[in-house]
Structure 1
Amino acid sequence: MPAAVALTLTLTAGCSEAKREYQLPDDICKIPVAAERMEPFLPAGKNLYESDWTNHEDSDGMYCVLSVDDNEELKFSSSWASHRSLEPRFGIGRGTRLLGGEYYTGTRRASAYFPCSNPKVRLDAPRTKDGKRRTVPAEYYIIEVRSLHHPKDEAESEKAMKRFIVPFAKAVKKKLPCR
């Protein structure tokens, strides 16, 4: 009898495990991403929603959120920057440095930046000596990813971020009007 009770408990415990009922996407904000690279950051649930705002020609760049059952899980934002505005950006220079310093990863976030000159995008610059407002062309593009759901093991979470950010940033760069 105890063996039958143990078998019943094992089968019941296996059935109560939460499952992913939605299909993993193959892109975020029209940026191709292998589904297995997003998988660690998207939990079990019924429905996946994407909300995005995309404008490569604007200094504000792009913003996208993947939500599962009304809970934001994976956030992506990117924007144009000048050399002067690159360093104060959150995520740049924080975490583990990859590939010469253009990529940084942590357990819940990653960032990337790369040279991408775009004279059509004008960014605010310090005022002239006589107080006149001026702008400069964009010189870099910055990508920031934040995950609210991630592997519990911190080392595995950071590895998953590394596997995600590099190909994702390269795919974003292909879509940009860099000169």
Structure 2
Amino acid sequence: MVTTVGCSEEQKREYTLPTSLCGVSVPASALSQLLPVGKRLTVDEATPVPDALATCKASVDGDMVLSLEQEHRDVGASAYDIARDRFGVKQPKTAQQRSVAYSDRVAVSVVKCRGGENGDEDITIAVKVLKPAHQKESAMKDLILGYTSAFKKQQPCGKSS
């Protein structure tokens, strides 16, 4: 005779999903597929280098599960190159003419700013999921595409671009 012992309580998400990260709307449907169940979600936002770098780190029950960076950088690197060289993704998939690269754990986009207040520069957005978050390629793609679209609507390049 085989007896199966299971949990009578199903684990569930007790926290509310954030509607934005680093001041930008985030697609809740994609985010919900990545974040783990738990009781408490905290989001820490910082600008360690004003006008150059902003970071957001999401933690569930004390475990950091997602990080997001917005970084102003020199022109030139593609999202594919950044995902591969900086984050170690061997073969990232790409979208939107290689301005977006993603895998099941990392997603990167490049927003090209030309002739704006800061001259020519790129702004990269990088999202990374860490355990115990869920690694899901389609959710990472949806998250980076939705986030980048909302970011562009904020006109991050300045007046002239």
The TM-score bracket by the shorter chain reads 0.7 to 0.9
Asked whether the 8 Å contact 1:80–1:138 carries over to 2, the reply is no
Question: TM-score, normalised to structure 1's length?
Answer: 0.72
Helix, strand or coil for the counterpart of 1:15?
A: coil
Distance change in 2, residues 1:73/1:118 (3 Å): farther
Unpaired runs of 5+ in structure 1? Answer: 122-136, 152-156
Determine if the alignment matches structure 1 residue 13 to structure 2 residue 6.
yes
Helix, strand or coil for the counterpart of 1:39?
A: helix
Match of 1:161 among 114, 131, 140: 140
Determine if the alignment matches structure 1 residue 36 to structure 2 residue 29.
yes
CA distance in 2, matches of 1:34, 1:87: 23
Q: Which has the higher helix share?
A: 1
Match of 1:116 among 110, 113, 132: 113
State the number of aligned residues.
Answer: 150
The aligned runs of 1:37-116 (5 Å cut-off) are: 37-54=30-47, 58-60=51-53, 62-84=54-76, 86=77, 90-91=82-83, 95-116=92-113
CA distance in 1, matches of 2:35, 2:127: 13
Asked whether the 8 Å contact 1:29–1:54 carries over to 2, the reply is no
In terms of Rg, which structure is larger?
A: 1
Percent identity over paired residues:
26
Question: TM-score, normalised to structure 2's length?
Answer: 0.79
Unpaired runs of 5+ in structure 2? Answer: none
CA distance in 2, matches of 1:87, 1:34: 23
CA distance in 1, matches of 2:37, 2:51: 35
Write the deviation string for residues 56-81 of structure 1: whole angstroms up to 9, x where unpaired.
Answer: 96122x11011101111111001112
CA distance in 2, matches of 1:77, 1:29: 8
CA distance in 2, matches of 1:54, 1:167: 22
